[in-house]
Amino acid sequence: MSSPWTITPADSPLGTFSRQERLHEAAIGDRTDLGSGAVQAGVRRLVRESWQRSLSLRLDPLTAQAAPTLSADQLARLRAQNPLAAVLPVINTLLVRHAAEFGLIVAVADETGRLLWIDGDSSVRTRAEDMHFVVGADWSEARVGTSAPGTALALDHGIQIQRAEHFSQLAHPFSCTAVPIHDPVTGALLGVIDITGGDAAVAPQTLPLVEAAVAALEAELRIQSLSAPRTVPARPSGFTAPGILLSVLGTEHGALHGAQGVDQHSMDLSPRHAEILLLLAWHRQGLSADRLAGLLSDEHPHAVENLRAEMVRLRRVLAVSHPQLRVGSRPYRLETSVDTDAGRVLRLLARGAHRMALAAYRGTVLPGSAAPGVTEIRAEVSQRLRQTLLSDASAEVLLDYARTEEAAWDSEVWRACLQLLPARSPQRAAVVASLTRIEAELSA
C-alpha cells in the first residue's frame, strides 16, 4: 500500500514568474502601483493581490524576513496557551511521521502567524533556517509578505505558494502548502498547518491531504470539548518539534539537540550520560534501578549506588542545558519525548526508505561504549540495516552501503551487489576488485 505522501511533483510554473524582478524593482523604488500588465502577466491573481498588500505595508522583497523575537519563556507561554497543543500527537500521526521521508517539514503557527512547532526532515529544517523559518518567528503577511502560512491566515482558506511566488527572495528556494484550522465550537481561527519543502510541498495531492488532516484535527478538538473542559498539556508528546534529538550514531560521546528558546541548542554529553539517555529513550516504559544498572555494567559491585549518583549529576546538567527534558524515578524514565537518530534509521527502514536510512546512518551506536544494553542496541541497529538492505535495497543503495566503513570488508554485501548489477554495468569491475581484495586479505 503506497503512502499518501507518494506524490509526483507538479509541473513547475516558475517560468511565468520571470517578471517578478519588476516587482522587486517596484518595491525598491517605493512604488505601490502594480496596475501594469507587464508586472501582472503570468502571475496568479491570489499572489498578485498578496504582493500588493505586502507592498502597501512598505515591505522590501529583498530584505523582508521573520527574525525570531521571543524569549524562551514567551515561547513556552504561547505554546501552553494554544489549543493546538492538545492535538499535536494527531498532527504527528497524520503528517509529521511521513514528512521526513519525502523531504518536507511540518509547521504549526498560531492565529497571528507565529511559528510554534516545526518538525520533519532535518536537512530541510536546517536550510529553512536561512530564511528564518524557525520556532518563534512571525510568518504573517505583515512581517514577510506573501507566504503559505501568512497568506492562508490572511485569506482564511488553504493555499499553495510556489518558490518565486513568495514575496521575500529568501523564501524562493521553497514551496509551501498551508491550511487554517478553526475552533469547531466557536469557529475562531486557532492557527495554521503548513507543509514546506521542494516541489512535493505543492503537488496536487498535498493540499487535499492537509485539508483532510485539518478536518481530523477539528474533529478531535470537538471530541475533547465534549468529553471534558479543554486542557492543554504543558509538555505535549508525539510532536517532536522543536524537539529533542539524541545523537548516538558514529560518536563516542553522544549529543543532545533541541530548542532552547527559539534557537536550536546542542550539547555534547559525557559517555555515561549518553548511555543512560539512550537506554531510557529505547525503553520508553522505564527501567528499574537494578535493570538500568545492569544494562550499563554487569560487573561493578556497586552499580546501583553509582547509577543513583550519576542520575543526580545528569539531572543537574539537564536542568541547565535542557530544562524541558526531565527524568522520572521509580522506574527511571524520560518524562519528555526524546527521539534518537538510531531510532529514526529503524523507522526509515521499516517504511522502505532505504536511501534515506543509509544517509541518516552515520556509524554504529556509541562505538566506544561497552555497556551491555548499548551493545545490544548497537547490534540491533547495525544488523537490521544490513539485513534490510541485503534483502530489499536497490543495487545503487546497496553499493553505497558496501562503500561504508562498516561494510567495506563484508564479502556477502559485495557479492549481493554483483548479483543485482546488470551484466554490462560499468560498476561491476569495481565490485569484482573489492571482492578480490577481501579474499586476498582473508587468505593472507
- Residue 227 clears pLDDT 70, i.e. is over it: no
Coil/strand/helix, residue 169: helix
Closest-CA residue to 401 (of 390, 392, 367): 390
Mean pLDDT, residues 20-35: 39
The structure's pTM equals: 0.49
Residue 50 in grid coordinates: 498578496
Mean pLDDT of 232-246: 49
- 70-91 per-position pLDDT tens digit: 777 788 888 888 999 888 888 9
pLDDT band at 15 (very low <50, low <70, confident <90, very high): very low
E-assigned strands of 236-373? 244-247, 255-260, 263-268, 327-328, 333-334, 339-340
SS3 state at 13: coil
Q: Residue 341: in which H helix or E strand, if any?
A: helix 341-350
Q: Say if residue 331 is preceded by a cis peptide, omega within 30 of 0.
A: yes
Chain segment 291-319, per-residue pLDDT in tens:
898 899 866 666 788 888 889 999 998 88
Q: Confidence class of residue 257 from pLDDT cuts 50, 70 and 90?
A: confident
Which range has highest mean pLDDT (21-30, 246-255, 370-379, 395-404)? 370-379
DSSP string, 234-245: SS--S--SS-EE
Q: What is the pLDDT of residues 382-441, one digit of tens each?
A: 999 999 999 988 888 899 999 998 999 999 999 999 999 888 888 899 999 999 999 898
Pair 261, 70: CB distance under 8 Å: yes
